[in-house]
């Protein structure tokens, strides 16, 4: 059994972030550790302007990481898709939790599918990844920026500000929003963001007690899959602004990585599909990036910044 030390978990104050941190705390409690939540406000929570090339990298994560570095907390709980691929020297990604459903869902007041959306329907999303893939399938759609937490974006659709929006299925399920009119988009239509539906849990590198505790929550298959995805993203230096998507899946000892890069208007789409040993997850991500680079990905990403 661990000693009496309390593990403090830093988290944003949004309902989804609090759910995630509470889940991690519950798992640690189940293992016999004492926990305490430390809710914080990130820059992304205060700034509801559309994300652009001038937006700060790590908009939703830097304040949480700062809490660890300055000793306000012992653990940072992130949606892994929000966590920049450039590591902070003092911090360690001690656990990546088992991934849940990875798909995105289309939310409309009428329960429309993507094909049922009226011509020139207005879709709210600030994700260039989502916008570009939507336009690849439905070039007639009008894409407008939308910000706010999950409930705020749903409310804007329900009151008619937008005909639809896109949300991660994992977030809707974690918040038990089963009554929301949403249709799941297939992977073939909407490839997810690198790291989507997994939680990334950081600790300080010099905190052996907390790192050991958090390591029990690590899921090896998910870690391999997202390692490939994040290596791919980092190699292309895509960040959150370029229309980049990737999904790694593990089958036994084999890892498959599907990835795509698009122009914001979806006039060009580059795809790659590679497989290799799970033990070479990082190298597989680099390989996928190099194959897309050979197709012209660098120019697309540079133009999207």
C-alpha neighbours within 13 Å on the C-beta side of residue 269: 18
* DSSP E strand boundaries for the chain: 6-12, 34-40, 75-79, 91-96, 104-107, 122-124, 142-144, 164-168, 182-184, 199-204, 244-251, 254-262, 269-277
Q: How far apart are CA 58 and CA 231, in angstroms?
A: 17
| CB contact at 8 A, 22 and 12 | no
Would you call 105 exposed, middle or buried from its count of C-beta atoms within 10 A (0-12, 13-18, 19+)? buried
Number of continuous H segments (helices) and E segments (strands) in the chain:
10, 13
| CB contact at 8 A, 242 and 304 | yes
CA distances to 107, 147, 182 from 80, in Å: 23, 19, 23
Q: How far apart are CA 89 and CA 130, in angstroms?
A: 31
78: number of Cβ within 10 Å? 26
Contacts 24+ apart (CB under 8 A), 44-49: 44/12, 45/12, 45/13, 45/14, 48/147, 48/148, 49/147
Q: How far apart are CA 61 and CA 231, in angstroms?
A: 19
140 part of the active site: no
Among candidate residues 47, 74, 82, 218, the one labeled active-site is: 82
DSSP states of 212-230: HHHHTT--HHHHHHHHHHH
180: number of Cβ within 10 Å? 17
> Catalytic site residues?
82
């Amino acid at each position: 059994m661990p000693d009496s030390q309390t593990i403090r978990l830093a988290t944003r104050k949004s309902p989804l972030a609090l759910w995630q941190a509470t889940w991690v705390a519950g798992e640690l409690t189940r293992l016999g550790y004492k926990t305490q939540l430390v809710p914080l406000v990130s820059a992304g929570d205060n700034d509801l302007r559309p994300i652009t090339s001038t937006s700060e990298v790590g908009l939703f994560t830097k304040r949480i990481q700062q809490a660890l570095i300055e000793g306000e907390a012992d653990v940072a709980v992130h949606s892994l898709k929000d966590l920049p691929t450039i590591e902070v020297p003092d911090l360690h990604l001690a656990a990546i939790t088992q991934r849940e459903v990875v798909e995105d869902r289309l939310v409309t007041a009428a329960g429309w599918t993507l094909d049922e959306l009226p011509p020139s329907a207005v879709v709210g999303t600030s994700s260039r990844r989502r916008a570009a893939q939507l336009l690849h399938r439905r070039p007639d759609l009008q894409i407008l920026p939308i910000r706010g937490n999950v409930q705020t974006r749903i409310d804007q659709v329900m009151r008619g500000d937008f005909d639809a929006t896109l949300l991660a299925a994992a977030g809707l399920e974690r918040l038990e929003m089963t009554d929301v009119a949403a249709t799941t988009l297939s992977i073939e239509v909407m490839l997810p963001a690198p790291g989507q539906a997994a939680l990334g849990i950081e600790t300080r590198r010099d905190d052996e007690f907390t790192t050991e505790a958090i390591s029990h929550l690590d899921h090896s298959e998910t870690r391999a899959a997202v390692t490939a995805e994040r290596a791919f993203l980092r190699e292309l230096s895509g960040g959150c602004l370029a229309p980049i998507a990737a999904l790694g899946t593990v089958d036994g000892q084999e890892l498959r990585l599907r990835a795509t890069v698009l122009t914001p208007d979806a006039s060009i789409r580059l795809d790659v599909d590679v497989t290799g040993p799970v033990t070479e997850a990082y190298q597989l991500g680099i390989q996928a990036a190099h194959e897309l680079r050979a197709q012209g990905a660098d120019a697309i990403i540079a133009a999207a910044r």
